[in-house]
Structure 1
Amino acid sequence: MEVTMNIKHLAIIIITPLLLVSCLNSNKSDWVVKINKSDITKEQIQVGFNNLPEDIKQQIPAEKQGEYIINQLIQDEILYQEAIKNTLNLKEDYQNYVKTLTNQFEYQKKQGLIDLFVKETINPKIKVSEQEVIDAYEKNKNTLFKAYEERSISHIVLKTEKEANSIHRKLKNGSNFKTIAKTKSIDKTTAVNSGKIPGKFTENNLSKDFKDAIFNLKRNGSYTKPIKSEAGYHIFKLDSKEIVKEKELKEVKQYIENQIFITKRNQEIATLLDSLKDSYKIEQNKELENTKEKTKTETEAEG
């Protein structure tokens, strides 16, 4: 079993990019999809876009993100309605949770009830064995948990290639890197710290050009030739390097167990939703379909 959280969602309804744009721009009905007469609105979809985590954005192509958001909203609504059917909204711990909310936002109350439903109906079904943890560790030992090198770096950023080459020559002739970084670098955030970039870097969190240059530096204090980016021309200096040892099973056991649990929980939710989808009437707003066709016609006419 992979120790990663795969994005799984039930493809209940397909929302094309054109329909999504038309529904968000439309002045017609506020609702986009109904689930047993409960609305998913344009505002909810827009909030979903605004709050879509970066890791999800990286995993889902831009043209599929609208479909993902709407399907997530549909799934949440189905789980919420199932929680109501199971009268979880009447439970004392849920009522106490609602009382703690500073602002009685409907989405907070709804999410709290969904979380309670998952906790009481899904989580008890999930078991993670010791052997599953061991197998996942062995499978990922040479990738996720292998030893790796971290490097601390500083840089000087110049506007032009000519300036960068001039500074590079001065460094080769013995000029002080920290002094030049403070006085010449256009990256003022790092310039105040003599060019020091916060944090540590691995080969996995640098662009290819930066990675190749920085990880080819052999000794502390050595620096790269100028490298072009959108920000300007960088000269990187290696401050320090450190080998982070391979993670032993005992160090990552809880992490692996949590990831397997999350994967199994997602699978259980997907199975439940699949079994329930015929019990829920899911309706797409026909007005928006008409808006989409009008937008398409106007776009083709302009072309």
Structure 2
Amino acid sequence: MKKPVLRSVAVATVIGALSFGALAQNVAIVNGKPIPKSRMTALEQQLARSGRPVTPDMQNQLRDELIAREIFMQEASKRGLDATPEFKDQLELARQSILIRELFNDVQKKNPVTDAELKEEYAKFVAANSGKEYRARHILVDSEDEAKKLIAQIKGGAKFEDVAKKASKDPGSGANGGDLDWASPNNFVPEFSDAMVKLSKGQMTDTPVKSQFGWHIIRLDDVRDAKLPTFEELNDQQKAQLRNQLMQQKLAKFQDELRAKAKVQ
């Protein structure tokens, strides 16, 4: 009688060890189907890429999320929803998106932006933005007639800043009396910058200036030589923005080259 009992205990021990091993390799087992830990890792990476790094406190929430997904997936499969043409098309689109994202990640890893490239790009930026900076104010309205009336009011003694606060439809500068702060002419649309640079310090445009945004009344408050920091004076955030801009240019060039080589019929 002892041998069968011992044999049963041994079998139970093996089964228990197998169950423990399965759980150690998986997040959970739902209706006999394991959820591998690699899926948890993939979900964590997905969240991290979207700017939401996973903290230890979130582990249980992620586990619950994966279990819920598995339960719903199993039910969808029971209903045959994974065999429909619509599902297969959506699955292919999702597969393409993931694969393309991995391709671009691979390009970035193998073609990082070097410090030399960063310095060269900033030198181009400095060259393009050197020269003069202008501090101007403007009033933006919808019609030429309205702009002409406001010009008449200002010439009649009304304060430019007060008129801008009341009448300008530019929410950013209007609240500040039309102040646009110091900026390069390249920061403005051509019609605006062309009119602005022709003004003398303290002068206002006699006639309204039309652009894609509406009708402008412009006053030039001051002019100075552009003051740009050296590359070494840039902070980490500024360098990171410049590095990201360069990487986007590299990715755009990579995409253009692939399209140019592709045979499309």
- Normalised by the length of structure 2, the TM-score is 0.47
- Normalised by the length of structure 1, the TM-score is 0.42
Q: Name the larger-Rg structure.
A: 2
RCO (CA 8 Å, sep 6+): is it higher in 1 or 2?
1
**Hey, which of these two has a bigger chunk of helix by percent?**
2
